[in-house]
């Protein structure tokens, strides 16, 4: 039997709810082939080899509950498995420092706890929890715009020698100075900003690369996204979006031989439509020119459950972080970050990133699978 992977969660929102309920869905439906995942096994690790051992949030209705209870708390809305069918767990949700985590538009939904503890006191408690629970990987699904909170968690990982998977566009694994600190401490980090499985970014960059590789000239392109969960509500606050726009735009630009002028490309989350819930709609258009300067254009509309989209990728990121730990490899894990994240330290084509990631995994099998 494979060794267990012990994971701590930061930001017990819809993404984690989808991850945990998805694993339970497969557990309860053993005849159902495990689809919606790139690798069923990675160097011997399967999807049931992960233990979620602790969680951290700021919502007063989530702190003090077990993880499997907290994932159903308002304003979360993933309901693939009824709450009474989720297994019991001892893993609790603890208080984390709010810092810049809670935006203007979501504060009356998140209802952050009125904390009497300082950030330093919380940091000391968190480090104790990480040690007592044997957490070896922290995965962050904080809200967009949580730059200070992300730095807090990156520092916690450095202090506790815990690997870091950063699913949001606050730059750590792709920031040269932070990446060096993870390298110096030989702690793996994978980031930043998770790519959906068949999400807006991967579809847009793949089609942009196709148009580029087929020799056409792209003249302008846009991608607009709308959704109805707290992630989209939070992104109504434009000031929180700076790094999200960089992350999404660079992900497309990196696939072109010649960059588009800034005013010829728009990639961004654009609005909150409450009744969409976790459904994300993406509208994308590419305009360009072919042989003899003849114009062409294409439009794509993607309709996808955003939480299923992210869970199928983060489950690979967790296992790749563990493989890096097993092999004593620290710093930003470049192939994993390029393959699974929108804003890695080194952009690659998705074909190259997949090949490099698979070579990374194949370098040696996990002993339990031998």
Ligand X SMILES: NC(=O)c1ccc[n+]([C@@H]2O[C@H](COP(=O)([O-])OP(=O)(O)OC[C@H]3O[C@@H](n4cnc5c(N)ncnc54)[C@H](O)[C@@H]3O)[C@@H](O)[C@H]2O)c1
Whole-number Cα distances in Å, 189 to 98, 115, 146? 22, 30, 18
> Count of CB atoms within 10 A of residue 173's CB?
27
Q: Which of 136, 147 has the CB closer to ligand X?
A: 147
Q: Which of 191, 330 has the CB closer to ligand X?
A: 191
> Count of CB atoms within 10 A of residue 178's CB?
24
CB of 134 to ligand X, least distance (A): 21
Q: Which of 110, 154 has the CB closer to ligand X?
A: 110
**Which H or E run contains 241?**
none
Bridge partners of residue 284, in order along the sequence: 223, 300
Cα–Cα dist 42/71, whole Å: 26
Tokens of 251: 């992900």
The DSSP line for 137-201 is: EEEE-PPTT-HHHHHHHHHHHHHHT-EEEE-SSS-STTSHHHHHHHHHTT-EEE-SSBPPTT-HH
CB of 10 to ligand X, least distance (A): 5
CB of 216 to ligand X, least distance (A): 29
Residue nearest to ligand X (CB): 13
Q: Which of 50, 122 has the CB closer to ligand X?
A: 122
Q: Which of 141, 164 has the CB closer to ligand X?
A: 141
CB of 235 to ligand X, least distance (A): 7
Q: Which of 49, 73 has the CB closer to ligand X?
A: 73
The DSSP line for 322-364 is: HHHHHTT--EE-HHHHHHHBSS-SS---HHHHHHHHHHHHHTS
Half-sphere exposure of residue 82: CA atoms within 13 angstroms, side-chain side:
2
CB of 285 to ligand X, least distance (A): 21
Give contact residues for ligand X (rule: CB under 6 A): 10-15, 56-59, 76, 96, 98-99, 101-102, 110, 141-144, 146, 149, 167-168, 193-194, 196, 199, 229-231, 306-307, 309-310
Backbone φ and ψ for 342, nearest 5 degrees, come out as -75, -35
CB of 100 to ligand X, least distance (A): 7
Q: Which of 142, 211 has the CB closer to ligand X?
A: 142
């Amino acid at each position: 039997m494979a060794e267990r992977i012990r994971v701590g969660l930061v930001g017990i929102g819809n993404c984690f709810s989808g991850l945990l309920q998805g694993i339970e869905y497969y557990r309860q439906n053993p005849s159902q082939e495990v689809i919606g995942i790139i690798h069923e096994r990675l160097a011997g690790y399967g999807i049931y080899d992960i233990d979620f051992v602790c969680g951290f949030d700021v919502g007063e209705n989530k702190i003090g509950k077990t993880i499997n209870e907290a994932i159903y708390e308002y304003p979360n809305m993933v309901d693939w498995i009824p709450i009474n069918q989720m297994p019991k767990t001892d893993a609790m949700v603890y208080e984390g420092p709010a810092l810049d985590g809670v935006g203007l538009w979501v504060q009356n939904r998140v209802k952050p706890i009125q904390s009497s503890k300082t950030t330093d006191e919380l940091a000391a408690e968190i480090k104790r929890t990480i040690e007592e629970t044997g957490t070896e990987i922290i995965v962050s699904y904080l809200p967009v715009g949580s730059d200070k909170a992300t730095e807090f968690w990156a520092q916690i990982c450095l202090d506790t020698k815990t690997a870091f998977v950063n699913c949001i566009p606050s730059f750590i694994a792709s920031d040269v100075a932070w990446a060096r600190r993870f390298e110096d401490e030989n702690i793996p980090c994978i980031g930043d900003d998770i790519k959906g499985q068949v999400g807006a970014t991967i579809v847009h960059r793949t089609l942009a690369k196709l148009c580029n590789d087929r020799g056409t000239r792209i003249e302008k392109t846009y991608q607009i996204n709308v959704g109805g969960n707290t992630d989209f509500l939070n992104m109504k606050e434009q000031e929180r979006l700076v790094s999200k726009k960089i992350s999404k735009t660079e992900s497309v630009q990196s696939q072109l031989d010649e960059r588009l002028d800034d005013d010829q490309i728009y990639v961004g989350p654009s609005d909150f439509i409450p009744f969409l819930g976790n459904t994300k709609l993406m509208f994308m258009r590419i305009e360009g020119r072919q042989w003899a300067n003849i114009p062409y254009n294409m439009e794509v509309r993607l309709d996808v459950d955003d939480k299923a989209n992210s869970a199928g990728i983060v489950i690979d990121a967790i296992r790749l972080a563990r493989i890096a730990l097993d092999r004593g490899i620290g710093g930003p894990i470049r192939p994993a970050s390029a393959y699974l994240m929108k804003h890695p330290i080194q952009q690659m084509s998705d074909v190259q990133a997949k090949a490099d990631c698979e070579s990374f995994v194949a370098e040696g099998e996990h002993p339990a699978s031998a």
